[in-house]
Amino acid sequence: MSQVVLSINNANIYQGTSLILSDVNITVSKSEFVYLVGKTGSGKSSLLKTLYGELELKEGTANVSGFDLKDLTWKTVPFLRRNIGIVFQDFQLLTDRNVHDNLKFVLSATGWQNEREIEDKIDEVLSKVGLKTKGFKYPFELSGGEQQRVDIARALLNSPKLILADEPTGNLDPETTEEIMNLLFQICRELGTAIVMATHDYMVINKYPARMIKTEGGKVIDNASIIS
C-alpha cells in the first residue's frame, strides 16, 4: 500500500472569515506529482497556505507529513515546516549572504548543530540540484534558474516527504522552466518525494503530464481536465 503524505477530508478553507473552498477531499501519496491549477483568486494559494500552517484549518480534518493540522499551534508550525519543503515563485533567498550560508541558516534554524553534518548536507543538496560549485555565490550573482535551484535545494534540506511548490516556474523563461521541471520530476522519482505544484502554465502541464487538481467555483476537483 502506498504511503500517504497528505490527506484532507471534508475540509472548508477560510481566508479570515471568508469561505474560499468547501468540502475539500485530497489524498497524495509518496512519489506522486500533482498539479494544482485554477484561475487567480480561485483558492490555490489559500489551500497551500493551509497546508503549510499559515492559515488555520477551522473545519474538517487534514494530515500533512504526519502532522494533524487541527492540532497546530504557533509553537508547532515550525516543526510542520521542517517536515515539508516549500518552493516559492520569488525564491525568497537572503540577499546578504551567499548560497552556502542561505542553506546553513535554514539548517541552524531547524535544529542542526553538528558542523560536519551541516556541511555534508549542504554539499548533498547542492549536488542534487546541480549547483555543487556555486555555494560561494550571492543570489544577485545567479540567474533566475539558478536561484530557483537554490530554493529547491533549501526545500530538500530536511529530507521532506512532501514539497509544496507555488508557481515555481512563474518567473522563468521556457528553457529554464524545462530544467526546473526535469529537476522536480527527478526528485519525485529518485527520492520518493511527493510534490504538489501550483501553476498557471498549461504548456508545462502538457509537456509534463501528471495528476491535476483544480480549484473552481469554491470547490476542488480531483483528476480535472485542463479545459476550463
Q: What is the pLDDT of residue 75?
A: 87
The reply to whether 97 and 67 lie within a common domain is: no
The reply to whether 172 and 138 lie within a common domain is: no
The reply to whether 153 and 167 lie within a common domain is: no
Domain membership of residue 54 as a residue range: 1-83+162-228
Q: Report percent pLDDT > 70 for the chain.
A: 97
| Spatial distance between the Cα atoms of 130 and 79, rounded to a whole number of angstroms | 28
SS3 state at 175 = helix
Among the residue ranges 16-20, 37-41, 223-227, the one predicted with the least confidence is 223-227
| Spatial distance between the Cα atoms of 199 and 216, rounded to a whole number of angstroms | 14
- Of the residues 119, 144, 159, the one at which a domain ends: 159
Number of domains in the chain: 2
Cβ(70)–Cβ(7) below 8 Å:
no
The reply to whether 75 and 186 lie within a common domain is: yes
Residue 1 has pLDDT above 60, yes or no: no
Number of alpha helices (DSSP H) and beta strands (DSSP E) in the chain = 7, 10
Q: Which three cell numbers stand for residue 106?
A: 535554514
The predicted-structure confidence for 78-136, as pLDDT tens digits, reads as follows 889 888 999 987 778 899 999 999 999 999 888 889 999 999 999 999 999 999 999 99
Residue 55 has pLDDT above 80, yes or no: yes
The reply to whether 147 and 46 lie within a common domain is: no
- Of the residues 143, 159, 175, the one at which a domain ends: 159
Nearest to 185 by CA among 168, 202, 172: 168
The reply to whether 187 and 219 lie within a common domain is: yes
- CATH of residue 43's domain is 3.40.50.300
The reply to whether 101 and 190 lie within a common domain is: no
Q: What is the pLDDT of residue 4?
A: 94
- Of the residues 120, 139, 159, the one at which a domain ends: 159
